[in-house]
Amino acid sequence: MDTLELFAHPVRLRIVHAMSGGRILTTSQLCARMPEVTKATMYRHVGLLADAGILAVDGEQRVRGAVERRYRLLARSTSSARSCSRSRNRPRKHRESRSATGRSRRRRSRRTASARTRGSPDAQW
């Protein structure tokens, strides 16, 4: 998964923002910061970010028989997250060219539909 796809998901983007500023947090602490996100979802997204190299394991400790990991955000990923969030807020350009393309698609679909009704041999089914 490339960086843009990773940051395109709102939960992963919120995790990255929660970890920014040099914070070192466990998955449980992230769950406490985002109570509307289930634990299973949080663990899955933290795992994806760690596998992609955006989060790094800062340390581990045993808590009631389980290993709890502390994560930190890598420095290179914060600039990627900022540029990704900025690109989402930019206004769209070339709206008129898109609408013209949409019109030509509609015309093409009408021609194809009329060819189908006439029984044309090159009609596309």
Structure tokens at 1: 């998964």
Query: What does the pLDDT read at residue 93?
Result: 46
- Pairwise CA distance, residues 54 & 52, whole Å: 6
pLDDT band per the 50, 70, 90 thresholds, residue 84: low
Q: Which stretch of 19-23, 34-38, 71-75, 91-95 has the lowest confidence by average pLDDT?
A: 91-95
Domain boundaries 3-88, CATH class: mainly alpha
Q: Which residue ranges make up each domain of the chain?
A: 3-88
- Pairwise CA distance, residues 48 & 117, whole Å: 51
pTM of the model: 0.59
Instruction: Give 10-39 pLDDT, tens digit per residue.
Output: 999 999 999 999 999 999 999 999 999 999
Give yes or no for a contact between 34 and 18, defined as CB atoms under 8 angstroms apart.
Answer: yes
- Pairwise CA distance, residues 89 & 84, whole Å: 9
Region 47-67 average pLDDT: 92
